[in-house]
């Protein structure tokens, strides 16, 4: 091998060995590209095609009156171990449908971080929280890989019908785990997959088995699954 070839090989090895290059390579290795289905983005993670994100144009659907009976947010929140003064997050908060409800339960001494990646949703959420006087709800504009939550501060993170749309599910869960306190809880609320009675497009549903498969890649242990909702399931994990 010539000196020039040796130097070129050495530079290539150094580039690949740099943290940034290695992280980028690891990210690419986690996902597979496929021909996109009508409701997907053509990206597969652990056997599941990731669903398209619902844009801010769909915000009125999040606030539909029928949601109270179709999803029973009262039962969802009753299944969580929420207490006054907790620090919690509503991840993929959208218009803030759950954010103010969480705010009521943690009280004025608690904090709710309401995270979304769409600036338009953040603007709408802030308007809704102002109208409701939800001063303990703090809006955060996250990114597809980072919810920008404070490290080791969260008692609980709630994700309602949003995880299946994460473009980078591994990276987002890793960031959430970093934000949770030891023993902090991560809660998935997802429409039940493989259930003909659920009137939702399949890519916007998840089976309990798939959620557990993806969550337990991280420092998370399954605690319980709540199945008393009309169309959804509540799957709760704890940070190890």
Task: Give the pTM.
Answer: 0.89
Neighbours of 122 (CB within 10 A): 21
Give the separation between CA 165 and CA 18, rounded to whole angstroms: 30
pLDDT along the chain (240 residues), means of 10: 54 54 72 97 98 94 96 98 97 98 98 98 98 98 98 98 98 98 98 97 98 98 98 98
Distance CA(206)–CA(223), nearest Å, equals 18
Per-residue pLDDT at 28 = 77
Comparing C-alpha atoms, which of 86, 74, 71 is closest to residue 199? 71
Task: Decide: 137 and 93 in contact? Cβ < 8 Å.
Answer: no
| Domains defined along the chain, listed by start | 3-33 (no CATH), 54-239 (3.40.50.150)
Are 56 and 210 a contacting pair, CB within 8 Å?
no
Residues 220 and 186: beta-carbon distance below 8 Å: yes
Residue 20 burial class via C-beta count within 10 angstroms: exposed 0-12, middle 13-18, buried 19 and up: exposed
């Amino acid at each position: 091998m010539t000196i020039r070839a040796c130097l070129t090989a050495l530079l290539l090895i150094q580039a690949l060995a740099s943290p940034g290059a290695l992280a980028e390579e690891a990210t690419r290795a986690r996902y597979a590209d496929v021909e996109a289905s009508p409701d997907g983005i053509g990206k597969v993670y652990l056997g599941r095609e990731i669903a398209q994100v619902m844009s801010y144009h769909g915000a009125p659907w999040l606030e539909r009156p029928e949601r109270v009976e179709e999803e029973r947010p009262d039962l969802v929140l009753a299944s969580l171990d929420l207490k006054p003064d907790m620090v919690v997050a509503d991840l993929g908060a959208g218009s803030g449908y759950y954010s103010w409800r969480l705010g009521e339960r943690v009280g004025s001494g608690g904090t709710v971080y309401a995270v979304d990646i769409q600036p338009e949703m953040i603007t709408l959420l802030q308007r809704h929280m102002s109208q409701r006087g939800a001063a303990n709800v703090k809006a955060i504009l996250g990114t597809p890989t980072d919810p920008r939550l404070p490290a080791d501060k969260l008692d609980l993170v709630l994700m309602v019908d949003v995880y299946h749309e994460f473009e980078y599910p591994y990276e987002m869960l890793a960031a959430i785990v970093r934000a949770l306190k030891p023993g902090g809880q991560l809660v998935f609320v997802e429409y039940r997959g493989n259930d003909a009675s659920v009137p939702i497009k399949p890519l916007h549903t998840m089976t309990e088995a798939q959620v557990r498969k993806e969550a337990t890649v991280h420092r998370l242990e399954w605690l319980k699954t709540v199945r008393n909702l009309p169309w959804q399931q509540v799957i709760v994990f704890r940070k190890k």
